Amino acid sequence: MLQLLAIHNLMKVRNTVLVSVLAMSLVLGISGSVFAATAVDLGTAGGFAVLGGSTVTNTGNTVVNGDLGLSPGTSLTGFPPGIVNGAQHITDAVATQAQADLVTAYNAASGQSVGVITVSGDLGGQTLTAGLYNSASSLGLTGALTLDAQGNSDAVFIFQIGSALTTASASKVALVNGAQACNVFWQVGSSATLGTNSNFAGTIIALSSVTVNTGASINGRVLARNGAVTLDTSPINKPTCAAPAVIVTPPPAPVVVPVPISTPAPTTSPSVTPVVTTTAAPAPALTPALTTTAVAPGFPNTGFPPEERSTPRYIAIPVAVLLMAAGAFALLLRKRAV
């Protein structure tokens, strides 16, 4: 009974843990999408670098890389000397459609509200990550504003500005860690003014007008719904989103198995023992020695040479003579005794 109760309690604990884990996973999964701004669909307006409602006016050597459009206004001045590297659509069907799409895009940008972050005053000196930022009134930029994508090239930044946007001279919008100008949107409730020699990034969607002062450069678009677009020696480059980098994983390198190299055994030549040829020295010539015959003391002179007397056969003769003499002397003494 106690074992069954223990098992029951363990099951309850396990179920509680599973429910908690699932709930946490759901919250984390939702948070990734809740707090991410959604890119604004510009429709056909996205093909324009400059689009005005009433007029488009230029002073100086402005270069527009992208299409230039105007609708419903008809007054375009300053081109040339300004240069448009793209098509010009002045109060035609293309410009009219672009303006209609711009209204839709403006409403889509201003209508986003999920995960909104409130900002106010001046954005200079701040570093912001991807998200939806809202200012109920005007917003300024002095110095540098850094937009950090944190390695995500699809990161979207949307700024909802209730009134005017004004940037100071030499101000800057810096894009870092994969942030792209094509994913930055500035929805302006009235008009936008960019200071001289400032460096701006993103698409401006202004309800009224946009003024770009001398030397200000834009990596983005200048789109005005109802008012004028005014340029002064202003380089404008319509942004293009770079395709996500495709990481190609090279195939693993083949494993090279070292093959043992057989080293042939050294061939041993049979050792040859040199034959030493000994040449016999010629026999020395024999000079006949002069033989001097001397009589050895104590030996009778038998007429033989001394070396021959020392041999056994010549010793026996004197011994026999002595024995015979001794026998004769003994016989003589025997006769006298008789």
- The torsion region of residue 120 among left (phi > 0), alpha (psi -120 to 50) and beta comes to beta
What is the helix (H) or strand (E) element at residue 231, kind and residue range?
strand 229-232
What's the one-letter identity of residue 160? Q
Q: What is the dihedral of CA 154, 41, 116, 203, to 10 degrees?
A: 80
For residue 48, tell me if it sits in a domain: yes
Most confidently modeled range among 96-110, 250-264, 281-295: 96-110
Can you say how many angstroms the Cα of residue 160 is from the centroid of all Cα atoms in its chain? 41
For residue 215, tell me if it sits in a domain: yes
For residue 150, tell me if it sits in a domain: yes
For residue 76, tell me if it sits in a domain: yes
Most confidently modeled range among 94-98, 256-260, 283-287: 94-98
Q: What is the pLDDT of residue 234?
A: 97
For residue 33, tell me if it sits in a domain: no
Tens of pLDDT, residue by residue over 156-180, are 999 999 999 999 999 999 999 999 9
Number of domains in the chain: 1
For residue 69, pLDDT over 50 is answered with yes
DSSP code, position 111: H
Which residue from 227, 33, 203, 220 is spatially nearest to 108, judged by alpha carbons?
Answer: 203
Q: What angle do CA 151, 152, 153 make, to 5 degrees?
A: 110
For residue 188, tell me if it sits in a domain: yes
Across 67-112, the runs of DSSP E, i.e. the strands, are 67-70, 75-77, 83-85, 88-90
Q: What is the pLDDT of residue 113?
A: 95
For residue 224, pLDDT over 70 is answered with yes
Distance CA 57, CA 78 (A): 6
Average pLDDT over residues 145-156: 97
For residue 247, tell me if it sits in a domain: no
pTM (predicted TM-score): 0.66
Average pLDDT over residues 303-310: 47
For residue 166, tell me if it sits in a domain: yes
Confidence of residue 256 (pLDDT cuts 50, 70, 90): low
Tell me if 216 sits within 8 A of 229, measured CB to CB.
no
Domain region containing 170: 43-237
